Amino acid sequence: MPRIAVYPGSFDPITNGHLDIVRRASRLCDHLYVAVADNSVKHHTFSVGERMAMVRAAIRGIPHCEVDTFHGLLGEHVKSMKATILIRGLRAVSDMDYEFQMASMNRRIYPDLETVFLMPDERYTYLSSSIVKDVTRMGAHVEEYLPPIVVRMLRRKFKLRKV
């Protein structure tokens, strides 16, 4: 039976830290779904379609990876896909409490699910989508933190000329 993994997130937008996790996770499974959350309660900068397009472009060339979307309970979605591995990135110790709670709840929903925590490269330890959006708005150079398509889409979204 193939080892199917899901790496969920809002990816608003996807960063090079996320891509580092995707590359690492793709070596641990037979197929990896990068699942973009469609959560109408959260206010996103990009629509789910825009986020999926950015993720699709960013993961191009990474073997056996594809983009997916979900709404509702993640554990239910993963179960419906017959995935048994849930990938989560841990940037800092501060992420652990929340991630452990989520892993516990997802295991209650889907007992066959194993959550695997991966650390990104240390260059991306404190990188987040929120920080990248904030510094982009201020005109900072963000090319080292984002895939090229994301840089273009952020500049267009914030109506910034190339800096």
Distance set, CA 147 to CA 51, 55, 85, 123, 150 (Å): 12, 9, 26, 15, 5
Residue 29 identity: C
What is the span of the domain harbouring residue 125? 4-157
For every one of its 163 residues, what pLDDT tens digit does the chain have, with 9 covering 90 and above?
Answer: 899 999 999 999 999 999 999 999 999 999 999 999 998 788 899 999 999 999 999 999 999 999 999 999 999 999 999 999 999 999 888 889 999 999 999 999 999 999 999 999 999 988 999 999 999 989 888 999 999 999 999 999 988 765 4
Residue 129 identity: S
Looking at the domain assignment, is residue 143 inside a domain?
A: yes
- Given the residues 40, 42, 159, 162, the one annotated as active site: 42
Looking at the domain assignment, is residue 163 inside a domain?
A: no
Active site residue 42: yes
Active site residue 18: yes
Phi, psi angle pair for 4, to nearest 5°: -105, 130
For the chain, what is the domain count? 1
Looking at the domain assignment, is residue 162 inside a domain?
A: no
What is the pLDDT at residue 163? 45
The count of residues in the chain is 163
Active site residue 71: no
Average pLDDT, the chain: 93
Looking at the domain assignment, is residue 54 inside a domain?
A: yes
Looking at the domain assignment, is residue 27 inside a domain?
A: yes
Helices (H) then strands (E): counts for the chain: 6, 5
- CATH code, 133: 3.40.50.620
Active site residue 123: no
Looking at the domain assignment, is residue 67 inside a domain?
A: yes
Give Rg (Cα) of the chain.
16
What is the pLDDT at residue 128? 93
* Structure tokens belonging to residue 132: 């990248």
Looking at the domain assignment, is residue 10 inside a domain?
A: yes
